[in-house]
Amino acid sequence: MSFIPVQTFVRGSVIKAKIPPIDDKVFEGKGKDTGNFKRPSFVIEGEHRFVMLHDSDQADIDSRWVLAAPITSASAEAKKALKEGRSILASYIPVERESYTFLEHDSYISSAQIFPMNRLWLYDVILGQISPEKMAEFDTQLIRNTGLMPTVLALAKILAVENYGIDEAAAGQENA
């Protein structure tokens, strides 16, 4: 694999990327930004697999960038959940190796860790594709994580009225 950026991909494509290390000088007050910052407890760097969250020609996103969600073993979260006697957080969407043979092991798509990434960090090979059903699971959890449910419901109501002439009054009359 080389670092020639992938020219074309679709939403749900899985691509390996190499994230450069973070300059720790920023967190020591010696970098460009001399604020007193602590290094985040969770940092993604090095080689990882990511799910692309949009098509490569998405007009509203700068063509130099891609929005992606990391695929992770979630080992730290799994250990914490076990210790606390609870299930793994719902923000981790399970993807099984049996269904996605391009994975090295059963993994999770982290809907709480999406971020913009430079396309130059992507390898030139699409490893596989996440199913539309699994992407819908991801979308639902992303809506929950970001508190967008009221907005989604309001938009659905607007679309129902605009496209189907359905409104609350009409819906109530049908049920009467």
Does residue 146 sit within a domain?
A: no
d(Cα 64, Cα 138) in Å, to the nearest integer? 24
CATH number, residue 69: 2.30.30.110
Q: To which H or E segment does residue 70 belong?
A: strand 65-72
Does residue 99 sit within a domain?
A: yes
Does residue 166 sit within a domain?
A: no
Coil, strand or helix: which one is 83? Answer: helix
Number of domains in the chain: 1
Does residue 164 sit within a domain?
A: no
Torsion of CA 103, 112, 43, 59, to 10 degrees: 80
d(Cα 56, Cα 70) in Å, to the nearest integer? 17
pTM: 0.77
Q: What is the pLDDT of residue 32?
A: 53
What mean pLDDT do residues 112-121 have?
Answer: 90
Does residue 112 sit within a domain?
A: yes
Does residue 72 sit within a domain?
A: yes
* pLDDT at 156 > cutoff 60: yes
Does residue 101 sit within a domain?
A: yes
Tokens at residue 104, please? Answer: 């090295």
What mean pLDDT do residues 100-106 have?
Answer: 93
Which DSSP letter does residue 44 get?
A: -
In the predicted model, what is the mean pLDDT of the chain?
A: 84
Q: To which H or E segment does residue 136 belong?
A: helix 132-145
Tokens at residue 127, please? Answer: 């490893």
* pLDDT at 79 > cutoff 90: no
Determine the structural domain holding residue 40 and report its residue range.
Answer: 13-131
For 78, 79, 91, 110, 113, the CA distances from 87, given in Å and listed in that order, are 8, 10, 11, 15, 19
Residue 13's Cβ-count burial label (10 Å; 0-12, 13-18, 19+) is buried
